[in-house]
Amino acid sequence: MKEFKPPFRILLGPGPSDVDPRVLKAMTQPLVSHLDPVFVGVMDDIQKGLQDIFKVKNPVTLPISGTGTAGMETAMVNMIEPGDDVLVCSAGVFADRMVQIARRARAQVQTIEAPSGEAVTPGQLMRAIEKKRPKVVAFVHVETSTGVAQPIEALAELLREDDIVTIVDAVASLAGQPLDVSANGLDFVYSGSQKCLSCPPGLAPVTLSPNAVQRLRSRKVPVQSWYLDLSMLEQYWGSERRYHHTAPISMNYALREALRIIEEEGLAARFARHRDNHRALVAGLEAIGLEMYAKREVRARTVNTVKVPDGIDDAGVRSKLLERYGIEILGGLTDLKGKIWRIGLMGYSSQRKNVLLLINGLEEILSEMGFSSTSGAGERAAVGSYERVS
């Protein structure tokens, strides 16, 4: 077997994002045991860094050894007991995945459906709660399949002074789009390491409010997953440091460095960078003649969805971007397959040079396919967007 040398890619899909070279370097450091005092110090640093970006003081804040979907499953199996009424605000593929996991946890699941490309409204949530009061309400902050950002503050306001447990998927938003967990009274929030944190896939940060911890500790039946049982995991990540599993050491090195980079940049500056690159991308795409999919008022900054023009080969465009420029963007899922492109601007990938390269590459390839646009219009519009905020 020959040595594997992967090609260089610019990852502008909905995840994973590009990884800062400092994070890759951190992964090459020598291994220590998962119970070594040095690694315990790494764990302490990670918990503090995660508390800062979640904006919480929650003691039960830790990375699950698994991808973002492991975070989702952790939330569901720890907060749900058989027979519980669960309400899921469903507006895309990943909200639908919440529904499937909740049903496997034997919950009684109701859903609020939003039209594709739109968000669930506070009015919909209020009516659903009044009709049948749930024990758990779950929603996705940024829906990766549609590029929609749910109005998290407005939805959370309806649940803040209630004993309903809120579960929020922040996989495509944490450290890229504003999210104040404590201020919004959110109970169980989970994310993934591979998107706005710009770390390789493999860890799922979670944080639990006192309300969520109380629900965990007052369960009548054990959590159905041994591996994801937070009543044991919190003892491994808590002061006891009680052995639970062999943590992925190198991945935790990487997460620690990623959190250090975020601390150096500052959350406010990081949010502004994601906002500015999103706006410039949208300006450039629209100047080319492309149309965004998600409604303007609910567009995410981190995952941008664009309609594939009539008569244009979706896969052909993506293939040429990869071959000529090394740029990866992805197409739609399920009923949106062949109808949209999903463009991620997350973490280390969210850079001005990437925005301009992608716009120029799309303009060139689309022109070759017969799509009419004014040469250079996309870049001019994007640059103009940057100049207005400089």
**From CA 338, how far away is CA 332, in angstroms rounded?**
6
What pLDDT is recorded for position 35? 87
Residue 51, token pair as written in the block = 């508390």
What pLDDT is recorded for position 163? 85
Burial of residue 363, with CB atoms counted within 10 A of its CB: 0-12 exposed, 13-18 middle, 19 or more buried? buried
Residue appearing with tokens 């739609």: 332
Burial of residue 268, with CB atoms counted within 10 A of its CB: 0-12 exposed, 13-18 middle, 19 or more buried? exposed
What pLDDT is recorded for position 372? 85
The CA distances from residue 23 to 29, 96, 117, 177, 256, in Å, are 11, 32, 34, 21, 8
Q: Which of 25, 344, 48 is nearest to 196 (CA)?
A: 344
Which parts of the chain sit beneath pLDDT 50? none
Strand partners, 89: 112, 139
Strands 303-307 and 327-328: unpaired
What pLDDT is recorded for position 126? 95
SS in 3 state form for the chain? CCCCCCCCCEECCCCCCCCCHHHHHHCCCCCCCCCCHHHHHHHHHHHHHHHHHHCCCCCCEEEEECCHHHHHHHHHHHHCCCCCEEEEEECCHHHHHHHHHHHHCCCEEEEEECCCCCCCCHHHHHHHHHHCCCCEEEEECEECCCCEECCHHHHHHCCCCCCCEEEEECCCCCCCCCCCCCCCCCCEEECCCCCCCCCCCCEEEEEECHHHHHHHHCCCCCCCCCCCCHHHHHHHHCCCCCCCCCCCHHHHHHHHHHHHHHHHHCHHHHHHHHHHHHHHHHHHHHHHCCCECCCHHHECCCEEEEECCCCCCHHHHHHHHHHHHCEECEECCHHHCCCEEEEECCHHHCCHHHHHHHHHHHHHHHHHCCCCCCCCHHHHHHHHHHHHHC
The pTM of the full predicted model, rounded to 2 decimals, is 0.96
Residue 207, token pair as written in the block = 């944080």
**From CA 322, how far away is CA 358, in angstroms rounded?**
11
Residue 181, token pair as written in the block = 């967990």
The CA distances from residue 13 to 17, 189, 339, in Å, are 7, 23, 15
Domains of the chain plus CATH, in order, are 21-265 (3.40.640.10), 267-389 (3.90.1150.10)
Residue appearing with tokens 């639908």: 96
Give helix 352-368 / helix 377-389 axis angle, nearest 10°.
160
What pLDDT is recorded for position 338? 96
What is the Cα 379 distance to its own chain's centre? 28
Q: Are 114 and 120 in contact (CB under 8 A)?
A: yes
The CA distances from residue 157 to 123, 186, 383, in Å, are 12, 10, 38
Which tens digit of pLDDT belongs to each residue from 187-228? Answer: 999 999 999 999 999 999 999 999 999 999 999 999 999 999
